[in-house]
Amino acid sequence: MTDTNKSLKEVQDEIIEEFRMYDDWMDRYNYLIELSKDLPLIDEKFKNNEYLINGCQSKVWLNAGFDESKGVIRLSADSDAIITKGIIALLIRVLSNRKPEEIMNADLYFIDEIGLRQNLSPTRSNGLLAMLKQIKLYALAYHSKMTKS
Amino acid sequence: MQKEIKKGNKNIIPAKSHITLKFNIEKVRKDFPILNQMVYNKPLVYLDNGATTQKPLVVIEGINRFHSTLNSSIHRGVHFLSEQATVEYEEARETVQKFLNAEHSHEIIFTSGTTGSINGVAYSFGEKYLNEGDEIILTEMEHHANIVPWQMVCERKKAKLKVLPFDDSGTLMIEKLNQLITEKTRMIAVVYVSNSLGTVNPVQEIIKKAHERAIPVLVDGAQAVQHLPIDVQQLDCDFFAFSGHKVYGPTGIGVLYAKEKWLDELPPFQGGGDMVDVVTFAKTTYNKLPFKFEAGTTNYIGAIGLNEALLYISELGIENIAAHEKELLSYATQKIENSGGITLYGKAKHKTSILSFLINGIHQYDAGMVLDKMGIAVRTGTHCTQPVMQHYHIDGTIRASIGLYNTREDIDLLCEGIERTKQMFL
């Protein structure tokens, strides 16, 4: 999974590099399908309405736990659509195991670079944009909890 | 054979009739500039006509001409432009009248679209006629636009919605209508052609039954006018709504047809300029029909575009279009069913132009994403008919919807796309 030694920028550049190999859209989608298979499944207990981010097009379940010893957020998620799941795998690879502050301020430029921006547009309603917002909200919540304590 | 097509008897048209049809499909396609383009380096296959249709050159140029030479606020000025603009706007109303075969042109109200038309009727009708405990009957296959406005008025008036169900083939269970109708039924609102199943409903039969009990009927014709000849006098419907953009016209313009007696009786649904006779702070009297229902500066540009669109399809002949689309739908249905691993939703005997399906084991969103990259435009999701999806216990479907310019090649490319999708995900 995520190598926390790498910076946000390094992981994103790595992904951009990986996608550079695929000029064809179908190859990119095939790669996302492969990535979706690698996504560690979210614990079944989180796959309920409480953790559901309902998009009109596809569903996303998200859990964000806080590892207090390391001060990092651990993300797990799933979707009923495979391509959505593949993109989730990328988002988790970039954002999981990072400090709340880092997630709050993350500039996710890789999405544009690999041509997946339309998948995170408000009109697409596949749950991904809502998922990103939710991740940032979790980060904000854990951040304020940390600074208070 | 042409005579038979004219009669609109689609059952007797042989399978390959598209070759002998009155309109030449290659020529027709040239009328739609948007079709002649590549997306993701693939020729565009536009099969999302249920959502919106593409515009022929006459519509694009008609709007351009109007903006360039005649633009002026209608019904207002004494000057040349305003008068000419008003003439064209009223000509558009007459074209719609002829298109629907309405008795009077003042029975044609320009609105923003089907949604605007239905909201208007629900509001005005509800204000005047609905009381606590009254009932409105809808069908299970209504678009949200023919559910939510009625729900809103029912909440306001403490009235009740009742639902006529459909069976698993997507056919209305018309035999249940008699038991749904009570002495409290005030309105029946029914979709002519289902946007997610393609079912052509027996609206004439429903209207007849309703009228036996003196109940008015609103027909949502959003998916009907572009596929079937419509005659509101023959149907005898009280209200009929449709959108310009689904019948090859521009967006933001729509039509509400209502029988004169209803328009006389109903209060206006919006107040503002042009819909008034005398305004004082004590009281306002309303303008005559149809202006009573057209408050404010109307979308006259939209009406001009709609005029062009309706003239265009009338020239092609709606019966010819219907025959062409019927042939394509049957070709597509057969081909998709034969390819295996597909579940088709909506298998009613009377159908038009819409193929709603799922590729077994593949999420509709995944399929839509892959088809998109192959240049194929389809819609995925619930198609604003969540109750239909609830009926089948699914989250959505892939919907390919056929328009007058589609070809067998489009269907072949769709099927190739489906096969490619299967290879990728299964």
> Is B373 at the interface with chain A, CB within 8 A?
yes
Q: B49 with B353: CB under 8 angstroms?
A: yes
Q: Per the domain annotation, does A32 fall within a domain?
A: yes
Same domain, B253 and B343: no
Q: Which residues of B touch A33 (CB under 8 A)?
A: 424-425
Cβ-contact B202, B173 below 8 angstroms: no
Distance in Å, alpha carbon of B318 to nearest chain A alpha carbon: 34
Q: Is B193 left (phi over 0), alpha (psi -120 to 50) or beta?
A: beta
| A36 close to A109: Cβ distance less than 8 angstroms | no
| Phi-psi sector, B341: left (phi>0), alpha (psi -120 to 50), beta | left
Beta bridge partners of B258: B239
A114: containing domain: 8-148
CA of residue B170 relative to chain centroid, distance: 18
| Contact between A33 and B40 using a beta-carbon 8 Å cutoff | no
Which residues in chain B have their CB less than 8 angstroms from residue A25's CB?
40, 373
Instruction: State how far residue B36 is from chain A, nearest Cα, in angstroms.
Output: 22
Give the model's pLDDT for residue A140.
94
**Which pLDDT belongs to residue A123?**
66
Tell me: do B280 and B365 sit in the same domain: no
Assess whether B384 and B416 both reside in one domain: yes
**Interface contact flag, B395 A126, Cβ < 8 Å:** no
Contact yes or no for A29 and B395 at CB 8 A: no
Distance from the A85 Cα atom to the nearest Cα atom in chain B, whole angstroms: 10
Query: Is A26 in contact with B365 (Cβ distance < 8 A)?
Result: no
pLDDT value of residue B26: 94
Is residue B42 less than 8 Å (CB to CB) from chain A? no
Q: How confident is chain A (149 residues) per 10-residue block, as mean pLDDT? A: 74 95 91 88 84 80 92 92 91 94 93 83 72 91 87
Same domain (yes/no): B324, B388: yes
Q: A29: which chain B residues are within 8 Å (Cβ-Cβ)?
A: 369-370, 373, 424
Active site residues of A: 56
Is residue A35 situated within a structural domain?
yes
Instruction: Provide the shortest C-alpha distance from residue B40 to chain A (in Å).
Output: 9
* Contact at CB, B365 and A84, closer than 8 angstroms: yes
d(CA B248, CA B313): 8
ipTM of the complex: 0.87
User: What is the pLDDT, as a whole number, of residue A118?
Assistant: 77
Q: Do B370 and A84 touch (CB under 8 A)?
A: no
> What is the tally of structural domains in chain B?
2
**Residue A56: what pLDDT?**
64
Domain boundary among B261, B282, B314: B314
Active site amino acids of B: 384
Residues with pLDDT less than 70, chain B? 1-21
Single residue among B314, B335, B350 that ends a domain in this structure: B314
Task: Give the range of the structural domain holding residue B360, as residue numbers without chain letter.
Answer: 2-30+318-425
**Do B89 and B154 sit in the same domain of this protein?**
yes
Alpha carbon of B244 to those of B92, B107, B152: distances in Å? 12, 17, 25
pLDDT at B19: 45
Burial zone of A17 (CB within 10 Å; 0-12 exposed, 13-18 middle, 19+ buried): exposed
Contact residues, chain B, for A26 at CB < 8 Å: 370, 373, 420, 424
Contacts of A39 (CB under 8 A, 6+ apart): A77, A78, A85, A86, A88, A89, A92
Q: Are residues B254 and B301 in the same domain?
A: yes
Q: How far apart are CA B165 and CA A60, in angstroms?
A: 31
Enumerate the residues of chain A whose CB falls inside 8 A of the CB of residue B366. 81-84
B29, burial (CB in 10 Å: exposed 0-12, middle 13-18, buried 19+): middle
Alpha carbons B241 and B114: distance in angstroms, whole number: 5
pLDDT reported for residue B78: 86
CATH code for position A32: 3.90.1010.10
Provide the terminal-to-terminal Cα distance of chain A, rounded to the nearest Å.
29
Tell if the CB–CB gap between B363 and A58 is shorter than 8 Å: yes
